[in-house]
Structure 1
């Protein structure tokens, strides 16, 4: 029988173990804050694609907070930071692209409007992982 005086230390160790393990569960809140994915040029896409199917199979809606990325798993949530204007938005990956130049993300019109890139069409951004999507992200090393 375990002494009652040992219950508290055992519970504490179990709690710490669960917190540490949650770091490795995809989609858990155990991700490190500011998990940097990359930096580069963002663009946005709008009316021409509105209502058409995305690569994930859902209809594209210009007024949702979504984005296209070449390789991030669908339903991954990323924070996009417009470096020049210091504006931030969180978007869910539901499409593939961009396939033009060296761009790293294509934002919906609503997302682009919120970080103020509608007029210029392009912006230098940083991407941070907020929540993993349908699959774990391969070779992700957070700084």
Structure 2
């Protein structure tokens, strides 16, 4: 597990101090795009222990809102894997958090200047009692506290329509095919029935309440492997149905 350290913080477990990347224009740091990433076991083992202290990952990010101190981490971790296996980019809008599910999304607001941005939580940390979130250097630049190293912030988790929690599934790495999300239930049911005549894999229609009302999410799966998923997409295309998008 990657243990993050903010810029100017004490050396990490390998004795190497973190460093400041080349400066970047705040306008070049784009907010994270909220999307329904699946929550797998990777990065979410709970409880876990770091430096003799045990942490429990939240069952859900829903309703999380907390004030505290933010820090940032930089060149020491650039190019390394985060807790869920992604590659850390010091200029991307990402963050480390001790207990939010990975991945999840949060709006972070600097209470000193009221600057705000959306980040994607894909790492664990910061393992300091007085800090609640560790941001990438780029995010710290955009929020205006890269030079001083820390800032008082409020962290508010964002709801993600369509996200699946796969931590507690035996086959946590199975993949589904997202056909679409529809506002009209009757149309979604008709499409689901048609697709079910083309592929043998179960077709799932489930209601999801979002910011603009109720949608009916249509998915097919799970598929045992990538080849089975691709074969289903080909069959859907041939029959004139939407082929959908594979979920990560």
TM bin, normalised by shorter chain, reads: 0.5 to 0.7
RCO higher in 1 or 2 (8 Å CA, sep ≥ 6)? 1
Q: How many angstroms does 1:64 deviate by?
A: 0.7
Unaligned runs of 5+ residues in structure 2 are: 1-35, 37-62, 167-248
Mapped to 1, the partners of 2:153 and 2:79 lie a distance apart of 27
Q: Secondary structure at the match of 1:59?
A: coil
- Aligned match of 1:85: 113
Give the length in aligned residue pairs: 103
| Unaligned ranges ≥5, structure 1 | 1-26, 28-34, 137-143
SS in 2 for 1:47: coil
Indicate the residue corresponding to 1:102 in structure 2.
Answer: 130
Q: CA RMSD in A?
A: 1.8
Q: 1:94 to 1:134 in 2, by over 3 A?
A: farther
TM-score by length of 1: 0.67
**Bigger Cα Rg:** 2
Q: Could you list the per-position Cα deviations for residues 104-133 of structure 1 after superposition, in whole angstroms to 9, with x for gaps in the alignment?
A: 000001111100010110000001121356
Q: Give TM-score, length-normalised by structure 2.
A: 0.39
8 A contact 1:76–1:93 mirrored in 2: yes
Note the 1:1-143 alignment, pairs <5 A: 35=63, 37-132=65-160, 135=165
Richer in helix (by share): 1
